[in-house]
Amino acid sequence: MQKLKVGFNFVIICLFLFCTSQVEAFEVKHAGALKNFMRKGDISAKFDLTDLKNKKGLYALGALENLRGEIQIFDSVPYNTFSSHEEQLSFDHSFQKKASLLVYTEVTAWDELEIPASISTKDQLERFVKNAASKNGVDTEKPFPFLITGKAASISWHVINWDKNDVHHTHRKHIESGPNGTLENVNALILGFYSSKHKAIFTHHSTNMHMHFKTVDNKVAGHIDQITLDQKMYLKLPRNESR
C-alpha cells in the first residue's frame, strides 16, 4: 500500500512539473517606445535588425531609425518601406537597418479561423482578436501576435518620413510626414501585435493593437491607421501546441 501511495505521488509530481514547464510557443519582444518619440523627441536607433537575420518564422513591425520609414517582416522576409524622393514609396528587403521602435516574435505554426461578416470596424476587430485568442489558448494577459489575410474594404495607411529637426511630435504629423493614403478593396497580409499592457510603448494610448500590412502584389506596405474589413477575411493566431 505504501509503494502504491509513493508511486501515485510520483505521478502527480511528474504531471505538475510537465504542466508548469509548458511555455508559450512564442515570445514577444520589443525595443524603443512610442512615448520616447512623443514626450522626449528621442527617435534614435534602439535595435539593429541584423541581430534578427537568421531567425526562423520571424514577424516584426516598427519604425526605422530616426522615423525614416516603416518596418514590416513577414516570415523572416523584410518588406521595409521608406520615402525615397518626391514622396515615392520604396522597399528595402534587407536586414541592414536599425529601428527606433521594434516589436517582434518567432512563430512557426498558426491556426486560422474565419472572421465573422459582422466584424467590420477596427474596434470590433480588436474585441474579436482578444476573444478568439483567449478561446484558442493564447494568454491574452501577455502580448501576442496575429495575422489577418483576405480582401479589406479599405485600409488607411502611412509611411513615416520624419524631419529630424522637428521636435514637436503628434500622431497627425507622423501620418502626414510621408507617403499615405487609403486603399480600397485591397488584398493584403496584415501583421498585428495585441497587448493591453503596452500603451505608449508599442500601441497607441487609444488601442491595444499595432498593425502593419503589405499588399499581396507587394506594391504598398506600411502602418495601418484605420481598416474596414470585408467578408471572407481570416485571422491567424499562434498555434497552441498543447491542445
Q: Where along the chain do its domains lie? A: 29-105, 109-238
% the chain with pLDDT above 90:
81
Q: Give residue-wise pLDDT tens across range 61-75.
A: 999 999 999 999 999
In the prediction, which pLDDT does 18 show?
A: 41
Q: Select 29-105's CATH number: 3.30.1330.80, 3.30.420.40, 2.40.50.180, 3.40.50.150.
A: 3.30.1330.80
Q: How far apart are CA 33 and CA 199, in angstroms?
A: 9
Q: How far apart are CA 210 and CA 103, in angstroms?
A: 9
In CATH, what is the architecture of 109-238? 2-Layer Sandwich (3.30)
3 state SS of 86? coil
33, amino acid identity: A
Q: How far apart are CA 191 and CA 223, in angstroms?
A: 10
* 119 contacts 125 by C-beta, under 8 angstroms: yes
75, amino acid identity: D
Mean pLDDT calculated for residue range 223-237: 97
Q: How far apart are CA 33 and CA 170, in angstroms?
A: 14
Please say if the pLDDT value at position 10 is more than 70. Answer: no
- Examine domains 29-105 and 109-238 and report if their fold is the same: yes
Mean pLDDT calculated for residue range 97-118: 97
* CB atoms near residue 197 (< 10 Å): 10
The distance of Cα 16 from the centroid of its chain, to the nearest Å, equals 33
Mean pLDDT calculated for residue range 212-219: 97
Among residues 78, 70, 147, which one has the least CA distance to residue 102? 70
Q: Give residue-wise pLDDT tens across range 163-195.
A: 988 989 999 999 999 999 999 999 999 999 999
What's the pTM? 0.89
